[in-house]
Amino acid sequence: MSLEITFLGTGAAFPSPARGASALVLRREGQCWLFDCGEGTQTQLMRSHLRAARITKIFITHLHGDHIFGLPGLLCTLSLQSSPDSSSKAPLDIFGPLGLRSFLQRSLELSHSQLLFPYAVHELVPTPDQCPPQEFRDFSGWDSRDGSAGRVLRLAPGEDSYLLLEDEQVEVRAFRLFHRVPSFGFVLEEKPRPGRLNVQKLKDLG
């Protein structure tokens, strides 16, 4: 399995001409997975060798602006680049903390933006110990869902991570991080693969 990582932005809080806000792309099997989407991510994508249209999954670590303010704009640009039959395509999967769905819905609604492709927001329900007590907010009542697709993922009893994706090659999990707001890290783990033996070489070596 081939994996390639491209850093689009490594700046925290303040983007600069030389460093964009947080964003990186993992390229796998012809697909691009975007991790965080700070302001200016679209521009950074255009400067890179990557194609934004190849993005099939987006993972958001937390809801601070330098990690999410670029997301509504990126989705709108992807919509402008969509073909007329994009509504029948598989949804763009977006993973992130509880409250992300509401942020996207309100941003798109207030800006009168309509996406021409389907997307699904899969929200991770945080636990209160992921941030200082005075910073914890319960966003569970904010979500009207509005018929949009996606799951709400809670930490299973006895588990310390959330299973997000699994296929024959990899498993993707989220785990809890401590920050000023609830945050998550993401782990992509390649599944064991049987090795290949060169039988003739073995025979030659006795």
Catalytic residue among 36, 66, 93, 143: 66
Residue pair 190/166 in contact by the 8 Å Cβ criterion? no
Contacts of 84 (CB under 8 A, 6+ apart): 116
Could you count the other beta carbons within 10 Å of the beta carbon of residue 165?
Answer: 16
User: What is the distance of C-alpha 142 from the center of its chain?
Assistant: 21
167 assigned to active site: no
Burial class (CB in 10 A: 0-12, 13-18, 19+), 62: buried
Beta bridge partners of 33: 26, 57
Spatial distance between the Cα atoms of 170 and 190, rounded to a whole number of angstroms:
4
**Enzyme catalytic residues:** 66
